Amino acid sequence: MRYTLRQIEYFIATAEAGSITLAAERINISQPSISTAISQLETELGAQLFLRRHAQGLSLTRTGRDLLIEAKQLMDQAQKLYHTASEATEMVRGTLSLGCLVTFAPMVLPEVAHSFATDYPGVRVLPQVADHEKLLNDLHRAELDVALSYDLQLPDDYDFIPLAELPPYALVGESDPLAQETAVTLQELAEQNLILLDLPISRDYFLALFARMGLTPKIAGRLQQQEVIRTMVANRFGYSIANIRPKSTTALDGRAVRRLRIAGDHKPMRLGLLRAARQEPTRLVSTFMDHCRTLISNSYIPGMEPPILDPKRVR
């Protein structure tokens, strides 16, 4: 046997992504390395695995589709070797498939992944960034071991461990008249143009803040990219509502934004660990969850300013 597990891993990533470019981004490996590995695998097996279509990317041949099923089973078995060894020797090693919510991933994910891999050199962290709905689906399909997300609309077959509370606040441009205030009410905001973070499930949370007060916001735009929203706000196209508190108070174009407390008692987002409840966590996953409990709290969230909490909410 002359093929390697690394070649199999690259083959699976490319088959799922549909292109070498997307596979390289997903597993953080150079495109030439993936292309070479696949060519070597095809030569060793004596079979063409992909059809190369320049306009449409790659598609699996019939042989490739059959091999993908076997390849995933092979990688599952290989991963179980690490799990078995870890349980027997009490060492923490293996590959951790870690999901992270797209809205706070730029701040939280780098420090969490790097600090864990540094503490446990035998671990390889494989990150995946997505919206909340996709994270749930990937956990259900066992494509992720654990994810950092919110406790929004969770079915009963998921476990959630809260780490920190993130109350909502209003984001306005530096030159907005509201920027001179220390706090703003939802009634005041409802009269202004709202640029809504339009991600699955998250949008329901923001709209519910107004609905509970019997208010309907004036939605001037629906966008899914947080940095685009910040730049639009900085340029006075409207305000937005957010929960994460980046340390930077500027948009990507250099214009400043201001955070305003929303007066009243409003349900915070709870940032925490999310996993499928149908099986016991491995030593690797349990160790990672302990690592996150130590690292993340209401007083410290990687990459963010600490949240300003109502004292009655602090546990």
- pLDDT tens for 89-101 read 557 788 899 999 9
Q: Which residue has the higher pLDDT, 21 or 164?
A: 164
pLDDT of residue 236: 95
Residues of the chain with CATH 3.40.190.10: 92-165+270-295, 168-262
Q: Which CATH class is domain 92-165+270-295?
A: alpha beta
Q: Which CATH class is domain 168-262?
A: alpha beta
Q: What is the CATH number of domain 5-74?
A: 1.10.10.10
Distances (CA, A) of 100 to 36, 79, 108, 136, 139: 30, 21, 8, 11, 11
Question: In one letter, which amino acid is 192?
Answer: Q
**Contact 265/165 with Cβ under 8 angstroms?**
no
**How many CB atoms are closer than 10 A to CB 103?**
23
pTM value is 0.68
Tell me the torsion sign for CA atoms 175, 180, 183, 189: negative
94-101 and 146-150 beta bridge pairing: parallel
**Contact 83/284 with Cβ under 8 angstroms?**
yes
**Contact 256/250 with Cβ under 8 angstroms?**
yes
* Chain mean pLDDT for the chain: 89
Region 209-232: what's the mean pLDDT?
95
Exposed, middle or buried, 52 (CB in 10 Å: 0-12/13-18/19+)? exposed
Residue 220 has pLDDT above 60, yes or no: yes
pLDDT of residue 214: 96
